[in-house]
Amino acid sequence: MSKDLSRITDIADLQRVARRRVPRMFYDYADSGAWTESTYRANESDFQKIRFRQRVAVDMEGRSLATQMIGQDVSMPVALAPTGLTGMQHADGEMLAAQAAADFGVPFTLSTMSICSIEDVARHTRKPFWFQLYVMRDRGFIEDLIGRARDAGCSALMLTLDLQILGQRHKDIKNGLSAPPKPTLANLIDLVTKPRWCMGMLGTPRRTFGNIVGHAKGVKDISSLSSWTAEQFDPKLSWADIEWIKRTWGGKLILKGILDEEDARMAADSGADALVVSNHGGRQLDGAMSSIEALPGIAEAVGRDIEVWMDGGIRSGQDVLKAWALGARGTLIGRPFLYGLGAFGQEGVRRALEIIHKEADITMALCGRKNLSQVDRSVLLPGAF
C-alpha cells in the first residue's frame, strides 16, 4: 500500500482527497442530491439512529462476511452501484473500478450513462460484470444495448425504474455539467488546479458516453448527444415494459428504485431475481423516505419472494451490517467507491472496499457474531425503524 493510502482510514478521508483532485462539476455530480437535498442527507443521517448491541466473552474466531447475491459468490454483501459519468471522476474510471471489484470479489455494475463502453469494460476485467439499463423511447436502441451486454458476458441486468423523468439537481445546472467539460472560463480555471486529472484525461480517448455515441440513431458526436438524452428517457415506462425486458434479456434481472411496499410486491410478482430499495441516492424525489427507513417494511413484505437489497447513504461497513440486520441481503455502494476512484484511481476503489470490509468484520465480531447467518435484528438495540 502506498504511503498516501496507508493514512486513509475511512471513506471520509477518500472524500476529502477526491474533492481536491476531481474537477468541481464532476465532484458535485457525485456528491449532491435533488432540490433541497433533504433525502440525500437523510440517507446518511438515518443510519446514525441505529445502534448496535455489544456482546462480550463470545468466540470471535473464524469470521466471514462471504455470502451470495443472486447466486453469485461475493466476499461481502456489497456490489458497486451503477453511477453515470464514472469515467469523469478518473480517466477510464469504469474499467479501473470494474477490475478493483473483480479483484476484491464483489460485483461491478456498469451504467448505461458510463464513459467507458460495455465493450471497453469487458476487455479490461477478467470476471463478468452487471449492466444497468435505462429505458429509452427508442426500443431498438434498448434491444441493441441488451444484446451488447449479453455478448459482453454480463451476468445480470439491473433495470433502473426511478429515472423516467430527471429530478432537478441544482449543482449540475449551475455547473453546466457536460462530458467532456465545456471550455468556459470557470471550467478552465478549475481544471488548472486539477493537473493529475487533466493528465489522465489527455492519455485516454474515452471522454464521452461510450454506450451511446456511435450507437444511438443520430448521435455521432457530443454536440448531438445532449438533445438525444433530453428526449429519450421514457416517462411511459410500465410493468409491461419490464416483462418485455425480462423476456428480451433472458437472464438474471434486478429492479432498482423501489421505495414503496406496493411497488415491491409488484416487483416480486414480475419474476425479477432481486429488487433494490433505493431513492437514487437522494437525486430524484426530494422529500422521499430514506432507503434504510424504507427497507424493513419492504423486506418483511416480500423478502421470501425476491432478494431484497438496498442502496443510499452507506458510508461504512457498519452501515452494511445495519442494512443486513434489517433485512437486506445485499447492498450497493456508489459514492464511497467514487471517492476512492477520484482520489487514487483503481487503488482508491480497492481501499474503499478494504475499509468497508474491515469495519463490517470488526463490528460483527463486537456484536458477538461470526458470520452473516447469525446477524439479524438481535444485533441492534430496540427502536431501529
CATH of the domain at 266: 3.20.20.70
* pLDDT on residue 94: 98
In a domain, 275, yes or no: yes
Q: Round the average pLDDT of the chain to a whole number and report it.
A: 94
Stretch among 42-56, 205-219, 242-256 having the lowest mean pLDDT: 205-219
- Which sequence positions are flagged as catalytic? 280
pLDDT by residue (tens digit) across 252-295?
999 999 999 999 999 999 999 999 999 999 999 999 999 999 99
User: Which residue did the predictor score with more confidence, 177 or 298?
Assistant: 298
* pLDDT on residue 225: 59
Contacts for 57 with CB less than 8 Å, ≥ 6 apart = none
In a domain, 213, yes or no: yes
In a domain, 384, yes or no: no
Contacts for 206 with CB less than 8 Å, ≥ 6 apart = 87, 91, 92, 115, 116, 117, 120
Residue 283 CA to residue 330 CA, distance in Å, equals 21
Name the DSSP letter for residue 304.
Answer: T
In a domain, 25, yes or no: yes
| Res 127 pLDDT > 80 | yes
| Res 24 pLDDT > 60 | yes
Range of the domain at 144: 3-379
Mean pLDDT confidence for 198-220: 90
* pLDDT on residue 318: 98
Q: Would the annotation count 215 as a binding residue?
A: no
* pLDDT on residue 228: 76
In a domain, 352, yes or no: yes
Q: Would the annotation count 322 as a binding residue?
A: no
Q: Would the annotation count 160 as a binding residue?
A: yes
Residue 174 CA to residue 369 CA, distance in Å, equals 48
Q: Would the annotation count 134 as a binding residue?
A: yes
pLDDT by residue (tens digit) across 109-121?
999 999 999 999 9
Q: How many domains does the chain have?
A: 1
In a domain, 385, yes or no: no
In a domain, 121, yes or no: yes
In a domain, 150, yes or no: yes
